[in-house]
Amino acid sequence: MSAPSTLSILRWLVWRDLTLAWRRRADVLSTLFFFVIVVSLFPLGIGPETNLLRSIAPGVVWVAALLASMLSLGRLFANDYQDGTLEQILLTPQPLYLLVVAKIFALWLVSGVPLALIAPLVGVQFGLPQDTLLVLTISLFIGTPILSLIGSIGAALTLGLRGGGVLVSVLVLPLYVPALIFGAGAVEASIMGTSPQANLSLLGAMLALALVFAPWATAAGLRISLE
């Protein structure tokens, strides 16, 4: 028997999750629509007051991204848990840490990336200038993987619980706060005409930190949930 190659196993896992997401694209699209609709409600409700809209835009877009990424967490492990494939994944001859990273990466590709890509379009409704839209997109590109990583801990811990959805939000939303502050802070700085670099750097540091610790905590959570 040849030694199982880590890369090929991870590739299978990512391929599998992306194929599943494609076959259930209604789920993916509904998260994206949720984001677009929530963000669009604010300009409609407030009216065409450019200054007010501009000052609330960073917070509104980021909070909507937070909520949309919460919605996508349910897909991360729950389906695999129900049909028994999660057991198979746990018994895969690879460190669970890497498998969790692969699963989160696949989730981010179908939940975080579309959000970041569509953000400039919804940002236009708030009358944001062009360079601010760019900062918004960049901040979401760095920020959404943090949200998926931190959220995966909550998803793993609440696996198999009844009413887990509400519990996930209670567990995870407070942990999202630093990402929200620096993500929205970067966009705000750009609106004020100052450099968003400090905020973006802090966001990047948080991503590095989350990448190291979150999959490890998620792996431990999965082992507990499956006992």
Partner 1 sequence: MLEIIGLGCVRGDRRLFSNVDFSLRPGSFLQVQGPNGCGKTSLLRMICGLLEPAEGEIRWEGANIRSLGEEYSAAMTYIGHRNGVKDELTASENLRVSCGLGGIDVSENEASSILDTVGLKGRERLPARLLSQGQRRRLALARLLACRTPLWILDEVLTSLDKDAIALIKSIVEEHLQSGGMAIIATHQELNLSAGSFQRLELAS
User: Residue 5 interacts with partner 1 (CB under 8 A)?
Assistant: yes
Instruction: Please choose, out of 80-88, 140-148, 151-159, 203-211, the segment that lies near partner 1 by the rule CB under 8 A.
Output: 80-88
User: Residue 125 interacts with partner 1 (CB under 8 A)?
Assistant: no
| Minimum CB–partner distance for residue 161 and partner 1 (Å) | 16
Q: Are 171 and 154 in contact (CB under 8 A)?
A: yes
Token pair in block for residue 75: 């897909």
Give the nearer residue to partner 1 in terms of CB position, either 27 or 181. Answer: 27
| Minimum CB–partner distance for residue 25 and partner 1 (Å) | 11
Q: Which of 30, 88, 130, 195 binds partner 1 (CB under 8 A)?
A: 88
DSSP state of 48: S
Applying CB under 8 A, what is the total number of residues that bind partner 1?
Answer: 31
Helix (H, G, I), strand (E, B) or coil at 194: coil
Q: Which of 94, 134, 181, 211 binds partner 1 (CB under 8 A)?
A: 94
Q: Which of 32, 76, 89, 101 binds partner 1 (CB under 8 A)?
A: 89
| Per-residue mark of binding to partner 1, 12-31 (x: CB under 8 A) | xx-xx--xx--xx-------
Q: How many CB atoms lie within 10 A of CB 99?
A: 21
User: Residue 55 interacts with partner 1 (CB under 8 A)?
Assistant: no
Count CA atoms closer than 13 A to 115's CA, side-chain side. 37
The torsion angles phi and psi of 24, rounded to 5 degrees, stand at: -115, 50
Q: Are 148 and 111 in contact (CB under 8 A)?
A: yes
| Minimum CB–partner distance for residue 204 and partner 1 (Å) | 32
Q: Which of 26, 45, 48, 83 binds partner 1 (CB under 8 A)?
A: 83
Provide the residue type at 167 as one letter: L
Spatial neighbors of 10 by CB under 8 A, at least 6 apart, are: 94, 98, 99, 102
Angle at 18 between CA 134 and CA 184, to 5 degrees: 25
Give the nearer residue to partner 1 in terms of CB position, either 19 or 195. Answer: 19
Provide the residue type at 16 as one letter: R
Q: How many CB atoms lie within 10 A of CB 52?
A: 14
Q: Applying CB under 8 A, which residues contact partner 1?
A: 1-5, 8-9, 11-13, 15-16, 19-20, 23-24, 82-85, 87-95, 226-227
